[in-house]
Amino acid sequence: MVRNVVILGGGTAGWMTATYLQAAFGDRVSITLVESRRVATIGVGEATFSTIRHFFDYLGLAEEEWMPSCNASYKLAIRFENWRGPGHVFYHPFERPRLVDGYPLTEWWLKLGRDPFDRECLVLPALCENLRAPKHFDGDLFERSLHDGGDTKRRSTMAQQETQFPYAYHFDAALLAEFLAEFGTQRGIRRVLDDVREVTQDERGWISHLVTAEHGEIAGDLFVDCTGFRGMLINDLLGEPFESYQDFLPNNRAVALRVPADMERDGIKPYTTATAQDSGWIWTIPLFHRIGTGYVYADDYCSPEEAERTLREFVGSAAEEAEANHIRMRIGRNRNSWVRNCVAIGLSSGFVEPLESTGIFFIQHGVEQLVRHFPDENWDPTRITAYNTAVARCLDGVRDFLTLHYRGTARADTPYWKATKERVLPDTLAERLDLWSAQLPDPGTVYPYYHGFEPYSYHLMLLGLGGQAPRRHRPALDLVPDGAARQELRRVRAQSEELVNALPSQHDYLARLH
């Protein structure tokens, strides 16, 4: 049996992988994590998907156990600013539009709507606008009909998410790694702080052990590469080809700042903000104690110096003392993320860009799939192929969804935004865009493999971005009585007002949690 797992690299990817494997297999598998004191983490993964709650559930961690240690806050949505044009705003929340006579409210809105689609069809934008927490002070979730037991101790995986859980988290990624390191070592994970000098392979080319500077040889059966964009094992050692997404997605660099803020005075916004700029976009992520922000851009249109200057001007005086972290991003994926006895998870496997907060989602997906396809002494190649197929399809699906953000926006006022309309489209997206310009997507017309996004997300982006959205509703709706749809639109507005009045502010709720 495969009993000995060695993880190279710490940070969020390494410690999420280690603690999840330990939760899955207990002491039946020995886990050693080797990380260097000298290698800094990328540290921009501060916003997440709603599926992240399955990770904490799986580890048996309640929010009050980990959130205060990681300065975490709630995330109900992404707020897109200036993507269609200056001053335009829309939300992409964790909320499926309700169905009326078999059609989602977004379809009915094309026929009946007058106000912005997100405010008319969904309740979460109102909570975002009013800085509300998604829970009452007693811990009860605001809308029981939208969740499937995420606050219980029942272990679950992303594959079991049958309803749309209405929130995710923002957290300090470095603090989460530290928290998980302590959590994991208390449960038997061996942590080795050392530098790897050499990696030894056997006669088949399989990895046999790591050679460290102070701890000597560390042998393993399965090795997990969590070394970030470098891909020290999967790429440098094993030579697995990397397939770039740069033909489809424009951005390849980022500059990030950690900005002090008075959250008690200003309140904590329960959403990530993505603000379009001349050569990319700026993220704003509110934690309990500070703001995380960064400019994601294409260096064909903007230099690192110009990007940092733009970001500091955007933040204002609060950024004066903040140190800038410049990051060169590797956009794409490995042809295979599992090669021989090495599995790459996190940035060493693949990455798109921070838009839609998929970095930590990819870590979680990779380790869940590893547990599902965990090998025995036979190393069945069909199991390895199935793993590689699932990971590749997930990354390719997110690539297509993010490509839609750039091709689908009506904005074309700078060379960068003009060029987004001219970039090549993935074959899996091109023919779908033609269909979606006539009618909104449905389960049969979106990317068919699991990638974390449902048809409603495509609805919201098409309607919000404005460049590829249908100009009118489905003709079938003219043959269906619209009374129930009108009533449901009124109900959304009434419930939004009721929830705003009933729920505490995010700051007040988190202050009590802390």
Residue 133: beta bridge partners?
A: none
Q: For residue 212, give the CATH number of its domain.
A: 3.50.50.60
- Under DSSP, the state recorded for 340 is T
Q: How far apart are CA 294 and CA 301, in angstroms?
A: 17
Beta 253-260 vs 325-328: how paired, if at all?
antiparallel
**Are residues 472 and 110 in contact, defined by beta-carbon separation less than 8 angstroms?**
yes
Is the residue at 131 inside a domain? no
| Domains in the chain, number | 1
Helix, strand, or coil here: 291?
strand
Asked whether residue 12 is marked as a ligand-binding residue, the answer is yes
306: helix, coil or strand? helix
Contacts of 94 (CB under 8 A, 6+ apart): 50, 76, 77, 124, 164, 165, 166, 167, 168
pLDDT score, position 158: 60
Residue 31 labelled as part of a binding site: no
- Determine the Cα–Cα distance for residues 170 and 270; give it in Å rounded to an integer: 9
Cβ proximity of 164 and 94 under 8 Å: yes
Contacts 24+ apart (CB under 8 A), 297-303: 297/251, 297/253, 297/254, 297/255, 298/250, 298/251, 298/252, 298/253, 298/416, 299/252, 299/253, 300/250, 301/414, 301/415, 301/416, 301/419, 302/278, 302/416
356 is in an annotated binding site: yes
**Residues paired with residue 77 on neighbouring β-strands, in sequence order:** 93, 271
Residue 121 has what pLDDT? 97
Q: What is the mean pLDDT of each run of 10 residues along the chain (514 residues)?
A: 95 97 98 88 74 96 97 98 96 96 96 94 98 95 56 55 83 96 98 97 97 97 97 98 97 96 96 98 96 97 98 96 95 98 98 95 98 97 98 98 97 96 93 92 95 96 95 94 96 95 97 93
Rounded to an integer, what distance in angstroms lies between the CA atom of residue 369 and that of residue 373? 6
Q: What is the DSSP string of 7-33?
A: EE--HHHHHHHHHHHHHHHGGGSEEEE
Identify the pLDDT of residue 150.
41
Q: Is residue 90 part of a domain?
A: yes
Residue 132 DSSP label: B
For residue 242, give every residue at least 6 positions away whose Cβ sits within 8 Å of its Cβ, in sequence order, or none: 231, 235, 330, 332, 333, 334, 335
In a domain, 104, yes or no: no
Is residue 377 domain-resident? yes
Query: Is 307 marked as binding a ligand?
Result: no
Is residue 417 included in any domain, yes or no? Answer: no
Rounded to an integer, what distance in angstroms lies between the CA atom of residue 338 and that of residue 28?
22
| Residue 157 confidence (pLDDT) | 62
Q: What are phi and psi of 39, to 5 degrees?
A: -100, 115
Closest CA to 461 of 398, 395, 513: 398
Integer Cα distance of 134 and 379 in angstroms? 45
Distances (CA, A) of 116 to 83, 126, 166: 15, 12, 20
Is residue 513 within 8 Å of 134, Cβ to Cβ?
A: no
Q: Is 163 annotated as a binding residue?
A: no
Task: Tell me the residue range of the domain where 244 lies.
Answer: 4-70+77-95+145-393
- Asked whether residue 429 is assigned to any structural domain, the reply reads no
Structural tokens at position 123: 């309740």
Instruction: Report if residue 19 sits inside a domain.
Output: yes
pLDDT of residue 471: 86
Q: In residues, how long is the chain?
A: 514
Mention every residue, 6+ apart, whose C-beta is less than 8 A from residue 4: 29, 30, 32, 219, 220, 221, 222
439 φ/ψ angles, rounded to the nearest 5 degrees: -155, 150
Q: Which residues are catalytic?
A: 75
What is the reported pLDDT for 148? 42
- Per the annotation, does 196 bind a ligand? yes
Residue 399 lies in a domain: no
Q: Please count the other Cβ atoms lying within 10 Å of the Cβ belonging to residue 427.
A: 8
Q: According to the annotation, is 360 in a ligand binding site?
A: yes
